[in-house]
C-alpha cells in the first residue's frame, strides 16, 4: 500500500497527556477537554489519536459502538468502481496519496478520518480546468458491505466555474475524506447526495480551502442509509473568499443522520452563510447538527451567519442542534447564529385547509416547502427537480400524510 507520511498538528505548547485536553489552572491535577473548535488536535496517523470511547466532544452524539469497524478497524483502501459523466473542462483519475496536491485542504481531526486517510491506496482526483462552465457527476453504487476507505480530491483551477455532484447509492460501509481546493477567483458548487440502502453506514470528512475572491457552495443531501455522518469544514483562506454551506436531510425510523460543520474565517472581508434544514419522522429517528464558526484575528470585515431548522413530524424522534460562534476580532461586518426545532406550524396548516386543501395534503405541502428552499439554492434545474421528487417520496411514507409506510 502506498501512503503519504503521517503528519501531526498540536496546538498545545506544553507536554500533552491526552489529545484534545490540557492541564487545568488548578495545578494540573485534572484534564479538561478542549472546548474551542479551532484548538482540536489533527493528524493523518490514526495511532496518534486516543481510543474513541463515545465521551469525546466530537463523538458523544454518535452511535460509536455501531461505527467501531470504521473508526479503528481494518479498511479496504483499494480503488473502487465509479461512473463519471462530465462536460468539457472536467476530468477524473486516480493518483497516488503521495502526490503533493493531496493534503492541501485539511488534516483529519478524528480517528475515523485518519484511519481512512492512512488506509487509502489511491486518491480520486477531480480536476476542473475549463474556461467554460463545467459539470461532472460521479456515481458510486454497490461498494459492498465490507469496511472500506475512500479519498477524493476536487481541484478547481483559478477563475473556473464548475458543478460537482457526488452521488452515493446502494450498499456501503464507508469512511472517507473529501478534499476541496478552490483556487483564486474560482466558483465551485459541490453537491453530495446520500441515497444509500437502508443498512448502509457512511462517515465522511470534507475539507475545503477557498482562495482570494473565490466562492464555494457546498450541499449535503442525506436521505438514505442507517447511519450517515458528513462533516464539512471550510477554510476561508483568501481575502474576499466566500462560502455557502447548505444541508437538507430526512430521518426515518431508526435512522441516524449527523453533520458537524466548521467555518474558519482566516482572511479579511470573507463571508459565510450556513443553512441546514431537516425533518424527522418515525420511532427512533435521530439527527445531529453542530455548527462551529471561528472569526480569527486575521479576518477583519467578516460577515457570517449560520442557522439550523428541524421539523418534527411524529413522536419518538430526537434532533440535537448546537450552534457555536468564536470571535477573536471586533472589526466585523456581522456574525450571528440561530437554531430551532418544532412541529408543524398550525397557522400554515389552517391557511391551506381554509382554501379547500385536505389536512394530509396541507402537511405534505408545508414540509416540502420547508425543505425545498435549500434544494432550490443549487441552481441546476434538473438536479433540483430530481431531489424534490425524492423528498416527495419520503413524504408519502411519513406518518400523518395518509400513506402506509412500506
> What secondary structure letter does DSSP report for 314?
S
How confident is the model at residue 351, as a pLDDT?
Answer: 63
- Going from the C-alpha of 209 to that of each of 232, 266, 330, the distances in angstroms are 11, 10, 24
Distance CA 190, CA 172 (A): 21
- The DSSP line for 58-107 is TTTTS-HHHHHHHHHS--B-S----EEEE-TTEEEEEE-TTSTTTTSS--
| Chain center to CA of 11 | 24
Instruction: Output phi, psi for 314, to 5 deg.
Output: -155, 170
- Going from the C-alpha of 118 to that of each of 4, 54, 77, 128, the distances in angstroms are 7, 22, 9, 26
Give the β-pairing of 215-222 and 242-251: parallel
Percent above pLDDT 90 for the chain: 77
Length of the chain: 406
- Going from the C-alpha of 75 to that of each of 69, 82, 114, 178, 359, the distances in angstroms are 8, 18, 11, 17, 49
Distance CA 371, CA 368 (A): 5
Closest CA to 389 of 404, 403, 406, 372: 372
Q: Which of the four pLDDT bands, split at 50, 70 and 90, describes residue 14?
A: very low
Contacts of 354 (CB under 8 A, 6+ apart): none
Burial class from Cβ neighbours inside 10 Å (0-12, 13-18, 19+) for residue 385 reads exposed
Which residue would you say has higher pLDDT here, 3 or 44? 44
Predicted model pTM? 0.89
Instruction: Output phi, psi for 240, to 5 deg.
Output: 75, 10
Closest CA to 155 of 110, 89, 241: 89
> What secondary structure letter does DSSP report for 400?
T
> What secondary structure letter does DSSP report for 37?
G
Distance CA 364, CA 191 (A): 25
Mean pLDDT of the region 348-362:
72
How confident is the model at residue 369, as a pLDDT?
Answer: 87
Tell me if 201 sits within 8 A of 96, measured CB to CB: no
Mean pLDDT of the region 335-358:
79
Gap between the terminal Cα atoms of the chain: 44
Give the β-pairing of 256-265 and 227-236: parallel
Q: Please count the CA atoms within 13 angstroms of the CA of 349 that sit on its side-chain side.
A: 13
Tell me if 398 sits within 8 A of 360, measured CB to CB: no
Distance CA 91, CA 256 (A): 34
How confident is the model at residue 403, as a pLDDT?
Answer: 37
Distance CA 125, CA 119 (A): 17
Tell me if 218 sits within 8 A of 230, measured CB to CB: no
Q: Which of the four pLDDT bands, split at 50, 70 and 90, describes residue 26?
A: very low
In this structure, of 226-230, 258-262, 349-353, the range with the lowest mean pLDDT score is 349-353
Burial class from Cβ neighbours inside 10 Å (0-12, 13-18, 19+) for residue 290 reads buried
**Cβ of 342: how many Cβ atoms within 10 Å?**
10
Distance CA 352, CA 366 (A): 9
Mean pLDDT of the region 273-282:
96
Query: Does residue 79 carry a pLDDT above 90?
Result: yes
Distance CA 307, CA 260 (A): 13
How confident is the model at residue 34, as a pLDDT?
Answer: 52
* 325-342 pLDDT, tens digit each: 999 999 999 999 999 998
Amino acid at each position: 500500500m502506498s501512503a503519504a507520511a503521517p503528519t501531526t498538528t498540536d496546538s498545545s505548547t506544553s507536554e500533552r497527556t491526552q489529545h484534545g485536553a490540557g492541564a487545568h489552572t488548578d495545578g494540573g491535577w485534572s484534564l479538561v477537554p478542549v472546548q474551542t473548535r479551532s484548538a482540536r488536535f489533527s493528524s493523518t496517523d490514526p495511532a496518534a489519536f486516543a481510543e474513541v470511547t463515545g465521551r469525546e466532544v466530537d463523538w458523544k452524539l454518535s452511535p460509536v459502538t455501531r461505527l467501531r469497524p470504521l473508526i479503528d478497524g481494518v479498511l479496504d483502501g483499494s480503488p473502487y468502481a465509479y461512473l463519471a459523466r462530465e462536460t468539457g473542462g472536467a476530468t477524473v483519475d486516480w493518483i497516488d496519496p503521495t502526490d503533493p496536491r493531496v493534503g492541501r485542504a485539511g488534516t483529519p481531526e478524528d480517528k475515523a478520518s485518519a484511519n481512512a486517510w492512512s488506509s487509502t491506496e489511491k486518491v480520486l482526483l477531480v480536476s476542473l480546468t475549463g474556461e467554460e462552465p463545467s459539470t461532472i457527476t460521479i456515481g458510486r453504487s454497490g461498494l459492498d458491505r465490507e469496511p472500506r476507505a475512500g479519498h477524493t480530491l476536487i481541484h478547481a483551477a483559478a477563475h473556473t466555474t464548475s458543478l460537482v455532484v457526488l452521488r452515493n447509492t446502494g450498499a456501503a460501509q464507508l469512511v472517507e475524506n473529501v478534499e476541496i481546493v478552490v483556487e483564486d477567483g474560482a466558483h465551485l458548487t459541490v453537491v453530495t447526495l446520500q441515497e444509500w440502502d437502508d443498512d448502509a453506514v457512511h462517515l465522511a470528512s470534507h475539507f475545503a480551502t477557498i482562495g482570494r475572491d473565490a466562492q464555494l457552495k457546498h450541499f449535503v443531501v442525506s436521505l438514505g442509509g442507517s447511519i450517515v455522518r458528513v462533516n464539512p469544514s471550510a477554510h476561508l483562506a483568501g481575502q474576499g473568499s466566500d462560502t455557502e454551506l447548505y444541508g437538507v436531510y430526512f430521518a426515518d425510523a431508526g435512522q441516524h443522520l449527523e453533520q458537524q460543520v466548521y467555518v474558519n474565517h482566516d482572511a479579511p472581508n470573507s463571508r459565510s452563510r450556513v443553512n441546514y434544514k431537516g425533518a424527522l419522522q418515525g420511532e427512533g429517528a435521530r439527527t445531529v447538527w453542530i455548527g462551529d464558526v471561528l472569526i480569527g484575528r486575521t479576518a477583519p470585515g467578516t460577515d457570517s451567519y449560520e442557522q439550523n431548522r428541524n421539523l418534527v413530524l411524529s413522536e419518538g424522534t430526537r434532533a440535537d442542534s448546537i450552534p457555536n460562534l468564536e470571535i477573536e476580532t471586533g472589526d466585523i461586518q456581522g456574525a450571528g447564529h440561530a437554531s430551532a426545532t418544532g412541529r408543524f406550524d398550525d397557522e400554515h396548516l389552517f391557511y391551506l385547509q381554509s382554501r379547500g386543501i385536505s389536512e394530509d395534503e396541507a402537511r405534505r405541502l408545508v414540509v416540502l416547502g420547508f425543505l425545498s428552499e435549500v434544494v432550490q439554492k443549487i441552481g441546476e434545474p434538473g438536479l433540483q427537480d430530481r431531489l424534490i421528487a425524492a423528498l416527495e417520496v419520503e413524504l408519502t411514507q411519513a406518518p400523518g400524510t395518509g400513506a402506509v409506510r412500506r
